Amino acid sequence: MRIDIITVSPELIKSPFEFSIIKRAIDKNLVEVYFHDLREYALNEYGKIDDYQFGGGAGMVLMIEPIDKCISKLKGERTYDEIIYMTPDAPTLNQQTANTLSLNENMIILCGHYKGVDQRVRELLITKEISIGDYVLSGGELGAAVLCDTIIRLIPGVLGDETSALTDSFQDDLLSPPVYTRPSEYNDLKVPKVLLSGNFPKIEEWRNEQAFERTKKIRPDLLED
């Protein structure tokens, strides 16, 4: 998989890709991630990539020309499955979306900034819009990092145990059950006996029951369907 990230602040987003699981995935050549500074496609020598809103109002808007030039250059080099725009006014990222995107070969992620992008960018260039929640960040870089993390960990070979991702919360529209490790007793709190029994059918039954009960208590909306 190849992911190209277009951003006003490359230095803000690079760090998450230099550690832990994502770094290992990159080192193992399971994914390629490239960062493109939008200012390299600026309209003038001063790095102009934004302008005031037509009709007035607070906040600057990213212009279409620099974004179009950057995306056109990338599309001239390869075919992309999706061109994604990170914006709070979009469908919220969920596990099913991550599962689907993890099957792609090439993606572009455009990070919003300031007041957003010229609407024509969204109409002409973007194939999918994603939000990571009902709140506003200073830019789309952190959202893009979150999106990449959810996708990359699903690529075969990235996790040490590939079945781990299949038992994460939301994979089956349920939250994960409680998990425990050593010691089996701590401050009079004991690990449930069933987990120590070695009876794997019973353990699986317990985990399914716990997942349902936790979801019912914490996220009943997931059970509505």
Q: What is the 3-state secondary structure (H, E, C) of the chain?
A: CEEEEEECCHHHHCHHHHCHHHHHHHHCCCCEEEEEEHHHHCCCCCCCCEEECCCCCCCEEECHHHHHHHHHHHHCCCCCCEEEEECCCCCECCHHHHHHHCCCCEEEEEECECCCECHHHHHHCCCEEEECCCCCCCECHHHHHHHHHHHHCCCCCCCCCCCCHHHCCCCCCCCCCCCCCCCCEECCEECCHHHHCCCHHHHHHHHHHHHHHHHHHHCHHHHCC
Where do the domains of the chain lie?
2-152, 169-223
Residue 163 pLDDT greater than 60, yes or no: no
Q: What is the CA radius of gyration of the chain?
A: 21
State yes or no: cis peptide before 156, omega within 30 of 0: no
CATH of region 2-152: 3.40.1280.10
Q: Which of 29, 20, 36, 26 is nearest to 144 (CA)?
A: 36
| Residues 104/128, Cβ–Cβ less than 8 Å | no
Name, in order, each residue with C-beta under 8 angstroms of 176's C-beta and a sequence gap of 6 or more. Answer: 167, 168, 169, 211, 214
**How does pLDDT run across 84-134, given as a tens digit for each residue?**
999 999 999 999 999 999 999 999 999 999 899 999 999 999 999 999 999
Percentage of the chain surpassing pLDDT 70?
A: 95
Higher pLDDT residue, 6 or 45?
6
Q: Would you say domain 169-223 falls under CATH 1.10.3720.10?
A: no
**How does pLDDT run across 74-89, given as a tens digit for each residue?**
999 999 999 999 999 9
Angle at alpha carbon of residue 161, lines to 155 and 165, rounded to 5°: 55
Spatial separation of the C-alpha atoms in residues 101 and 39, rounded to whole Å: 28
The chain-wide mean pLDDT, for the chain, equals 94
User: Using 50, 70 and 90 to split pLDDT, how confident is the model at 171?
Assistant: confident
Place of tokens 């390869």: 78
What is the edge-to-edge ordering of all strands in the sheet holding 106-111? 32-37, 2-7, 106-111, 82-86, 128-130
Identity of the amino acid at 38: L
Spatial separation of the C-alpha atoms in residues 136 and 139, rounded to whole Å: 8
Residue 160 pLDDT greater than 90, yes or no: no
Higher pLDDT residue, 162 or 178?
178
Mean local confidence (pLDDT), 27-46: 96
